[in-house]
Amino acid sequence: MIFLAACGIHDEEAQRPWLQALERVATQHQRRPPGAVRVRNARPRMLGVHAAIQTGQSPEAAHGEAELPLYVPQDFDADLRAKLTLTAQQGGFVLLVGDSSVGKSRALFEAVKVVVPDWWLLHPCDAGALRQFAEHSAGRTVVWLDELQDYLDFAGGVPAGQVRELIAAGVMLVATCWPGEHSKRVALSEEGRPDPYANDRRLIGLVDVLQVPPAFSTHERRRAEDLAGTDHRIRVALDTPDAGFTQVMAAGPELVRHWTQAPAYAKAVITAALDARRVGARAPLTRDYLADAAPGYLNEREVATASPHWLDSALEYATRLLRGAIAVLAPVAAGMGRIAGYRVADYLHQHALRIRRTIHLPDTAWRALVVHHHPDDTGRLAFSAGSRGRDDYAEAFARRGVDIGNSPAARYLASILPVKGRIDEGVAMIRSHPDGSHWHGLAALELADGLVAGPSQRGHHSNSSVCR
């Protein structure tokens, strides 16, 4: 920079291409981590950046309609880029916290592209891949963890010690997270109760957090206005008064309208999917679950008069792309031409969390979840059913979990049987499985705690045994 200044190049923007050229030369020899690409070559859609609305304009009337819209500079960009610049110098972890569809991933991508365009960028598929990279980490690498909670909720999570080692090695970790996921992981556990987020709290203690506002400021809207004549999608988002700019751009309001104004059978399928995720089903929801759960969201006449193809029609409606950007239910592939299940759009899930938080699931949904849920969700669903007073379903989930060796489910069942006065069943359950079972000792401890605790303590304890 001193040399550039001596050559009369003082402006930061004018210096940037020279500094980037120097960076490319300095890093040309560096080892490429498996699966990594240069930041400048990364595809933002593959990193979690939402597809934008399509306005139906001709290519002549809209700029880059098939690509991302022009980026509207945000007020926090300078702060974000300053944090990333410091992180590039000494290693670090930068986390953007904000609701779904507020522009976290897009702002982070634009900032990383400006600060370290020639670094390697690695997007691990899961926590295991991240731990594998940590064993052979390379400097001048950006590790992209869009939706941090998805990595922490994997079995074993992401050890805080490994993150500390990555930072010490000069790695730049960047991530996004929803506010609710962040707050529950930093909150201290009550004394005497299990602390499932102890590691996550230590990990987030290493993070430099930046909050992303839920709506554009006056200054940001002015910048958007300046770009609206060039990109018609920005004009459409600015002219939609009933939602935030970034939410409109990602078709958020369209998702809500598509659900609330859906035909009866489609609405039943969508609501069954939203409720399943609300109570802890995070794996893709199968067609069989949706078929068995939906009748509980229909009246008797609608059930009796359903056509033979009601489910196909409902799924066709629910998976329809809105404004060419996003669907209420996104199919998850099980191979070429095969669907493993369906995921609910994040924005609609967060909306449903607010408006359906006090609404009980019908029995058809609980029964369908017991039969059709993914094993990774067993413990979480057992706890969720128990915390909602659906003890029979909680026990049904837990028993299915015991059959497949699910540790949280076994511990949960061992903790509730003494409360119900069925101690002998708990003892029999433990004796019927070999001592080598990885949950065996923990379940025995839960049962012992239930035996020695008083009735009120047992009831309190049973709701805290399974948290994941």
Q: What local confidence, expressed as pLDDT, does residue 440 receive?
A: 47
H or E element, residue 96:
strand 92-97
95-99, 190-194, 224-228: least confidently modelled range: 190-194
- Please determine, for residue 213, whether its predicted confidence score (pLDDT) is greater than 80: yes
Model pTM greater than 0.85?
Answer: no
Q: What local confidence, expressed as pLDDT, does residue 425 receive?
A: 57
Integer-rounded Cα Rg, in Å, for the chain is: 25
- Please determine, for residue 18, whether its predicted confidence score (pLDDT) is greater than 90: no
What does the block give as tokens for 359?
Answer: 């609404």
Q: What local confidence, expressed as pLDDT, does residue 244 receive?
A: 86
Q: What local confidence, expressed as pLDDT, does residue 62 receive?
A: 44
Mean pLDDT of the 122-142 span: 90
- Please determine, for residue 394, whether its predicted confidence score (pLDDT) is greater than 80: yes
Mean pLDDT of the 144-173 span: 90
Confidence of residue 10 (pLDDT cuts 50, 70, 90): low
In the chain, pLDDT over 90 holds for what percent of residues? 53
- Please determine, for residue 376, whether its predicted confidence score (pLDDT) is greater than 70: yes
Mean pLDDT of the 116-124 span: 95
Q: What local confidence, expressed as pLDDT, does residue 163 receive?
A: 94
- Please determine, for residue 6, whether its predicted confidence score (pLDDT) is greater than 90: no
Q: What local confidence, expressed as pLDDT, does residue 143 receive?
A: 97
Mean pLDDT of the 448-465 span: 44
- In the block, residue with structure tokens 């926090």: 76
> Average per-residue pLDDT in the chain?
83
Q: How many CB atoms lie within 10 A of CB 168?
A: 11
- Please determine, for residue 21, whether its predicted confidence score (pLDDT) is greater than 70: no
What does the block give as tokens for 259?
Answer: 């659900």
Q: What local confidence, expressed as pLDDT, does residue 443 receive?
A: 46
The pLDDT tens digits for 45-103 are: 899 898 887 775 544 444 445 468 999 999 999 999 999 999 999 999 999 999 988 99
Beta-ladder partners of 172? 92, 142
Mean pLDDT of the 224-234 span: 92
Confidence of residue 458 (pLDDT cuts 50, 70, 90): very low
Confidence of residue 298 (pLDDT cuts 50, 70, 90): very high
Q: What local confidence, expressed as pLDDT, does residue 207 receive?
A: 96
116-125, 216-225, 384-393: least confidently modelled range: 384-393
- Please determine, for residue 422, whether its predicted confidence score (pLDDT) is greater than 70: no
Which residues are CB-neighbours of 241 under 8 A, at least 6 positions away?
none
Contact assessment for residue 44 and residue 224, using Cβ atoms and an 8 Å cutoff: no
Which residues are CB-neighbours of 5 under 8 A, at least 6 positions away?
none
Distance from the Cα of residue 382 to its chain's centroid: 21
- Please determine, for residue 326, whether its predicted confidence score (pLDDT) is greater than 90: no
- Please determine, for residue 249, whether its predicted confidence score (pLDDT) is greater than 50: yes
Contact assessment for residue 208 and residue 94, using Cβ atoms and an 8 Å cutoff: yes
Confidence of residue 465 (pLDDT cuts 50, 70, 90): very low
What does the block give as tokens for 109?
Answer: 């991508």
Confidence of residue 206 (pLDDT cuts 50, 70, 90): very high
- Please determine, for residue 185, whether its predicted confidence score (pLDDT) is greater than 70: yes
CA–CA dist 327, 289 (Å, integer): 19
Mean pLDDT of the 382-403 span: 84
User: Which of the pair, 100 or 409, is modelled with greater confidence?
Assistant: 100
Q: What local confidence, expressed as pLDDT, does residue 451 receive?
A: 47
Residue 285 carries which DSSP code?
B
Contact assessment for residue 378 and residue 406, using Cβ atoms and an 8 Å cutoff: yes
Q: What local confidence, expressed as pLDDT, does residue 100 receive?
A: 87
